[in-house]
Chains A and B, each alone.
Chain A
């Protein structure tokens, strides 16, 4: 019978696929995440008529269309589901504390980089909160958002979301910034226009050159997928990209301990920032 049943992965298949993904995206899949790869790739195998991951690995290695397939694979394994105003405390810290402090010293232009923006909820949340604080009238603010996954960048650029993206978001915010049509919530153009999206692989030095020097970097719940070497590389790239006094915000479980001691850790009560 045709079913969407998960195709089970052997250990050697897992190791080879994990290696391919690591070499292309810096993402580390440990053996306890095997189920995740199975869930994300089974449908693709079925589309390609493959009964095993071994067939798929040979397709990735030897087929004339292997480069295209590698992009599809990267898109499938780098989907990072998120929602609006997730871990809002860090955004509030930047907007209510750090930007006003910098502004009090005469700074008027701010650049913010959402370094793994997924389908756009994070950079748009920042734009919404900046707007709520009336920042756009006072300062020149640019938000850049990047992701390795070309598919989610496309979703972000469309700015159309479903209810699952609004976990815990106050209805007043939804009503003010989104137009509801059926099951779709479309972001209003005034916020959509505040964010510029690019495709970028954080493991490539070109990622930072697309952004230039920046004041704030949000890279949350991404480093957990990298091994130590990849973490060091990415965090070093962030350091070079940040202005002096610039802030790096990571996910709540992530830490730079033993990774990079050049950043100063600032604990602001509801979260942590790493400052250059």
Chain B
């Protein structure tokens, strides 16, 4: 059987037959020659269950041929048997392998939807390419008794903005399947379907947390000035889960009423988990008092609450609270100190901040040291001399972060250090070095990487280099 062709703009797709043989690769090469304007060739292996060893040489040949013509080669829909052969032949890193749902019939796609790992990607694909064939497929899904297919149909409708199906989606609010109800609630929110809002309120109390959270999100999407007031009532519920959903909904609505109600509720809420959630929720409001509230929460006894408050400090722009946050960088709880250091890195650009972090460096735990190095890079003051010493540290993460921060303040030193770091014993450091060389692009860096890959043993580093130099 001969190869099948499809050319769209500068991309040539070649479908390889099930009984693939040497002649099919020759034929593929001839087809590439016929289209001098193409920039990418996709070899589709959807129907190929296995590749004989003799065909590996042909595949390498076509890869080299495409490189010589400056054409990107992508293998699509590679089955497990073929992938295994490529891996055994140590060739997996040399090929770009992707899924291309365009090769699948609607019926085949419906089968892929049942694979949890594929489901989301298939929904996205069908939604982006919606046509009459897929409309027929949706009809089949709706009459099936499979909740996964019905849920997928609803999400496809939502993502393809097919408003014509809105009544169908509304009907699904009465489905016995929670995943179907959840998706219907979400899609009605995307459609701005106000007429359903009262009914969606009922789902805030749903026993399935996913359904209740979807209801909170949709009410927020459909909200007007009355919704914060309506949801406030739930904050006084004795049901802890309902209070959690109400906090979530108010955070999403994000208006002045919602802020006021959350701050008031913080004064009376005793549940530790919900106080953690309140710290995060309040930090999403752009209000000057938020930093004071979070700093107050840092005085509480609960570690979880303190950590939530500290991590939320990174999110707010409290540049006038740097000194108070700096007081936390040696906190007895290592994660509070970690978040405080990161917050300093995000808020302060002054030398006094980098000086202070340098000063405490030797007194703190490893993860706080790592955060200090990262923050020094963010602050941007030239502390490359201090960081340069850390490139000899026995800890790989210290060396990696030092390398990264140097790259943010001293380009020449970063290039020199990154080139040296290619010899580092830790692959995470070598990986970072390659990222830095890729970003700074010094003269001849691709040749450096090509030389390095000959002796590189780590799969992730090799993959990274191949993604940059793109050569076999």
Interface residues of A, Cβ cutoff 8 Å to B: 1-4, 11-12, 15-16, 18-19, 31-33, 35-36, 39, 49-51, 55, 58-59, 61-63, 81, 163-164, 167-168, 183, 224, 227-228, 231, 253-255, 257-259
Is A259 a contact of B84 with CB atoms below 8 Å? yes
CB-defined contacts of B335 to chain A, threshold 8 Å: 49, 63
Residue of B nearest to A46 (CB): B280
B327 within 8 A of A: no
Is B397 a contact of A61 with CB atoms below 8 Å? yes
Interface residues of B, Cβ cutoff 8 Å to A: 50, 79-81, 84-85, 87-88, 97-99, 114, 116-117, 120-121, 146-148, 176-179, 213, 217, 220, 247-248, 251-252, 254, 276-277, 280-281, 284, 307-308, 310-312, 314-315, 334-335, 338-339, 365-367, 370, 397, 427-428, 431-432, 435, 460, 463-464
Complex Cα distance, B116 from A183, in Å, reads 21
* 8 Å CB contact of B88 from A2, A164, A228: A228
Residue of A nearest to B149 (CB): A167
CB-defined contacts of B81 to chain A, threshold 8 Å: 253, 255, 257
Residue of B nearest to A14 (CB): B460
Complex Cα distance, B121 from A33, in Å, reads 11
CB-defined contacts of A224 to chain B, threshold 8 Å: 80
Are A15 and B460 also in contact (CB < 8 A) when A164-B179, A224-B80, A253-B79 are?
Answer: yes
Closest Cβ–Cβ distance, residue B112 to chain A (whole Å): 12
Closest Cβ–Cβ distance, residue B196 to chain A (whole Å): 21
Is B147 a contact of A254 with CB atoms below 8 Å? no
Are A257 and B50 also in contact (CB < 8 A) when A49-B308, A228-B87 are?
Answer: yes
Residue of B nearest to A259 (CB): B84
A-B contacts besides A18-B460, A258-B84, 4 pairs, CB < 8 Å: A49-B280, A63-B335, A255-B80, A257-B84
Are A228 and B280 also in contact (CB < 8 A) when A49-B307, A183-B178 are?
Answer: no
* 8 Å CB contact of B147 from A1, A33, A163: A163
Is B277 a contact of A2 with CB atoms below 8 Å? yes
Is B367 a contact of A2 with CB atoms below 8 Å? no
Closest Cβ–Cβ distance, residue A19 to chain B (whole Å): 7
Is A16 a contact of B428 with CB atoms below 8 Å? yes
CB-defined contacts of B88 to chain A, threshold 8 Å: 228, 258
Is B463 a contact of A2 with CB atoms below 8 Å? no
Is A36 a contact of B117 with CB atoms below 8 Å? yes
Is B307 a contact of A63 with CB atoms below 8 Å? no
CB-defined contacts of A255 to chain B, threshold 8 Å: 50, 80-81, 84
Complex Cα distance, B70 from A71, in Å, reads 46
* 8 Å CB contact of B366 from A1, A2, A11, A62: A62
Complex Cα distance, B312 from A132, in Å, reads 58
Is B80 a contact of A254 with CB atoms below 8 Å? yes
Is B87 a contact of A227 with CB atoms below 8 Å? yes
Is B251 a contact of A1 with CB atoms below 8 Å? yes
Are A164 and B252 also in contact (CB < 8 A) when A11-B464, A58-B367, A257-B84 are?
Answer: no
* 8 Å CB contact of B252 from A3, A33, A61, A63: A3
Closest Cβ–Cβ distance, residue A233 to chain B (whole Å): 14
CB-defined contacts of B277 to chain A, threshold 8 Å: 2
Are A2 and B84 also in contact (CB < 8 A) when A18-B460, A51-B314 are?
Answer: no
Is A1 a contact of B252 with CB atoms below 8 Å? yes
Is B252 a contact of A167 with CB atoms below 8 Å? no
Is B50 a contact of A2 with CB atoms below 8 Å? no
Residue of A nearest to B396 (CB): A61
Complex Cα distance, B116 from A62, in Å, reads 33
CB-defined contacts of B339 to chain A, threshold 8 Å: 49
CB-defined contacts of A3 to chain B, threshold 8 Å: 217, 252
Are A2 and B284 also in contact (CB < 8 A) when A62-B367, A255-B80 are?
Answer: yes
Complex Cα distance, B81 from A227, in Å, reads 12
Complex Cα distance, B280 from A163, in Å, reads 35
Is A167 a contact of B114 with CB atoms below 8 Å? yes
Complex Cα distance, B427 from A59, in Å, reads 19
What are the nearest 6 A-B pairs in CB distance? A49-B311, A15-B460, A253-B80, A81-B116, A2-B251, A62-B367
